[in-house]
């Protein structure tokens, strides 16, 4: 567990205008030596300072393309900063403005748990198992997959990665998000009966050797705390009260929600769908509220709202604030690289293998994971 060092009380006395002015001053002074990345789920008052916005992998790839960059400040969460460190040159220092900005999903899969699962599965079956991890995972999990003939995936290309995996093995263990794995595999035609859930908190994952041997897809028991908040009843309410409103959700939502939605796809797919939607169309979106609000405010010619009536926000991502961003830039200006995220060289090497297998063998063009709009 990483802990954020306290920042000076003087920061709390600064007005939002003063904070913004000082951040802009740092950006001018550092020039091309500094790159600020902002994930889609960040607050607007943070994203206004980002040089690039996008999902986690896209931002890490962009960071790796900045030849003049010495410092990459990632306004996201810990696993995202790890990915940036994996993909950038060793001379680039990756900084997370608040070390307490983690990811509950990524934390649901630890390396020792995966090693225990792998040993159990090896005893349960002689079939070739390919480990696939969502990019929303720790670098150590990515490295394990790289070392064991597996790969990473994003929500955009999970289906293509699974297709690749089944060409190289007979079974897949998919982690850490069971919902993305289940929704993707089901959309590919794999029945739910051919999937089992491995619970790392239970002995042998709560499975018998017979269950593990019979399954085609072993789903890790993990989930996104934000997308878990959407449910089938919310979809039913839309259908009953607003039948002309389309439901568009992220595949980290449960299988029941995805089955009731008109469309399900990655963050980039959601953004593209709303951008290309006809004027006057109505949408209920099942994803993080900051992104939904941004789409609502940007596309005023369409009726866009959240699928849920509660605030479905990423609380750990929310910890990154303009104040934290300013503090990290002040530290750099004073010659201190605080909150640098470093991935061990061997972990970096194997994690890169898992990422490269994905990037080499599949396209990352955002596509619907399921559904249609008439």
Alpha-helical (H) ranges within 50-177 are 56-64, 78-87, 111-124, 139-147, 158-168
**Tens-binned pLDDT, residue by residue, of the chain (374 aa):** 566 778 888 999 999 999 999 999 999 999 999 999 998 878 888 989 999 988 777 777 888 888 889 999 999 888 889 988 998 988 999 999 998 888 888 999 999 999 999 999 999 999 999 999 999 999 999 999 999 999 999 888 899 999 999 999 999 999 999 999 999 999 999 999 999 999 999 999 999 999 999 999 999 999 988 899 999 999 999 999 999 999 999 999 999 999 999 999 998 899 999 999 999 999 999 998 888 999 999 999 999 999 988 766 676 666 789 999 999 999 999 999 999 999 999 999 999 999 989 887 655 555 666 664 44
Length of the chain, please? Answer: 374
Pairing of β 245-249 and β 195-198: unpaired
Q: How far apart are CA 304 and CA 47, in angstroms?
A: 21
The C-alpha R_g of the chain, in whole angstroms, comes to 21
Q: At CA 177, angle to CA 176 and CA 180, rounded to 5?
A: 140
Residue of 136, 127, 187 lying closest to 163 (CA atoms): 187
């Amino acid at each position: 567990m990483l802990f954020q060092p306290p920042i000076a009380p003087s920061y709390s006395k600064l007005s939002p205008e003063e904070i913004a002015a000082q951040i802009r001053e740092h950006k001018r002074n550092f020039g091309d030596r500094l790159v600020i990345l902002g994930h889609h789920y960040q607050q607007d008052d943070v994203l206004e300072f980002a040089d690039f916005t996008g999902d986690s992998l896209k931002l890490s790839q962009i960071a790796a393309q900045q030849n003049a960059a010495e410092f990459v400040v990632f306004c996201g969460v810990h696993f995202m900063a790890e990915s940036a460190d994996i993909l950038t040159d060793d001379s680039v220092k990756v900084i997370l403005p608040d070390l307490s900005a983690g990811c509950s999903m990524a934390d649901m899969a630890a390396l020792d748990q995966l090693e225990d699962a792998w040993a159990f599965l090896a005893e349960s079956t002689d079939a070739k198992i390919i480990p696939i991890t969502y990019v929303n995972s720790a670098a150590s999990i990515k490295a394990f997959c790289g070392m064991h003939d597996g790969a990473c995936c994003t929500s955009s290309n999970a289906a293509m990665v699974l297709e690749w995996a089944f060409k190289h093995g007979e079974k897949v263990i998919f982690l850490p998000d069971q919902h993305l794995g289940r929704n993707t595999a089901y959309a590919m035609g794999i029945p739910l009966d051919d999937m089992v859930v491995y619970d790392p908190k239970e002995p042998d994952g709560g499975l018998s050797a017979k269950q593990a041997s019979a399954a085609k897809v072993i789903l890790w028991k993990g989930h996104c705390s934000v997308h878990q908040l959407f449910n089938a009843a919310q979809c039913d309410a839309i259908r009953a009260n607003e039948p002309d409103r389309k439901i568009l959700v992220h595949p980290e939502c449960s299988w029941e929600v995805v089955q009731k939605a008109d469309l399900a796809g990655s963050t980039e797919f959601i953004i593209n769908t709303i951008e290309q939607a006809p004027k006057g169309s109505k949408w209920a979106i099942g994803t993080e509220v900051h992104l939904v609000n941004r789409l609502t405010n940007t596309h005023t010619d369409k009726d866009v709202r959240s699928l849920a009536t509660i605030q479905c926000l990423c609380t750990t991502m929310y910890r990154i604030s303009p104040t934290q961003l300013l503090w990290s830039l002040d530290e750099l200006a004073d010659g201190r690289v605080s909150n640098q995220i470093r991935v061990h060289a061997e972990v970096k090497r194997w994690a890169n293998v898992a990422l490269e297998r994905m990037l080499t063998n599949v396209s990352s063009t955002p596509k619907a994971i399921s559904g249609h709009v008439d």
